[in-house]
Amino acid sequence: MNNFENIILEQIESQVYCLTINRPKVLNALNQQTITELQAAIQIVATDASARVLLVTGSGEKAFVAGADIKQMQALAPLEAKAFSEQALATFRRLEMLDIPVIGLVNGFALGGGCELAMSCDFIFASENAKFGQPEVSLGVTAGFGGSQRLPRLVGRAMAMEMLVSGRMLDAQEAKQRGLVNHVYPQAELLEQGLKMAKKIIKNGPVAVKLTKELVQRGQDLDLENACAMESNLFGLCFATDEQSEGMSAFLDKRSAKF
Ligand code: DAK
Amino acid making up residue 201: I
Read off the pLDDT of residues 166-219 as tens digits, 9 standing for 90 and up: 999 999 999 999 999 999 999 999 999 999 999 999 999 999 999 999 999 999
Domains parsed from the chain with CATH numbers:
7-202 (3.90.226.10), 206-253 (1.10.12.10)
Residue 128 pLDDT exceeds 90: yes
* Ligand 1 pocket member 141 (CB < 6 A): yes
Percent of the chain topping pLDDT 70: 100
**72, 32 contact by CB (below 8 A):** yes
What's the pLDDT score for residue 39? 98
CA of 69 to the centre of ligand 1 (A): 6
Q: How far, in Å, CA of 71 to CA of 41, rounded?
A: 24
Residue 42 pLDDT exceeds 70: yes
Burial of 29 (0-12, 13-18, 19+ CB in 10 A): buried
Rg (CA), the chain: 19
Residue 1 pLDDT exceeds 60: no
Residue 2 pLDDT exceeds 80: no
Residue 228 pLDDT exceeds 70: yes
**131, 27 contact by CB (below 8 A):** no
136 is catalytic: yes
* Ligand 1 pocket member 26 (CB < 6 A): yes
